[in-house]
Amino acid sequence: MSFSVKKDKSGVVVVGVDGQLIVGNRQELKQKVLDALEGGGRKFVVDFVKTGYIDSSGLGVLVSLSKKIREQGGELRLAGLNEDLQTLFELTKLDTLFAITKTADEALAAF
């Protein structure tokens, strides 16, 4: 399974990405997050601690989801990026669009 979705005690939706976020599975992530948004979730953390690589389609889906969540008054945060993935966000300047923390716990604490 590529994604795990759980809600913490304060209602933040934490999505774990196992393996990769790429063109072939981005729709699955999108649907899971949109379902949670429709179900009333407004605060989201995507945890990449178990993620090896993300392609440009994966980056694109995060941008699109972040926009939709912001439109509903919520926020999408990212956590657990390894050094290479952090560099990917920096060189695409997407680090300026997202709040990024080292761990999901830090992201949860900052909400």
Partner 1 sequence: MVPPSPLRLHATALEMRLDVPSDLNVVGDAVQLVASRLPAGTLSPRRVSFNFRTALAEALSNAIRHGAGEDPARVVRVRVELGRDAVRIHVTDDGGGYDRTRLPDPTRPENLEREDGRGMFVIRHLVDDVAFNAKGNGICLTLRAG
Residue in 40, 25, 21, 11 with CA at minimum distance from that of residue 111: 11
Q: Cβ 91 to partner 1, closest distance in Å?
A: 5
Q: Which residues 6+ apart lie within 8 Å of 11 measured at CB?
A: 41, 42, 43
Which residues, 49 to 108, sit near partner 1 by CB under 8 A?
A: 52-57, 59-61, 63-64, 67, 84-85, 88, 91-94, 96-97
List contacts with partner 1 (CB under 8 A).
19-20, 22-25, 52-57, 59-61, 63-64, 67, 84-85, 88, 91-94, 96-97
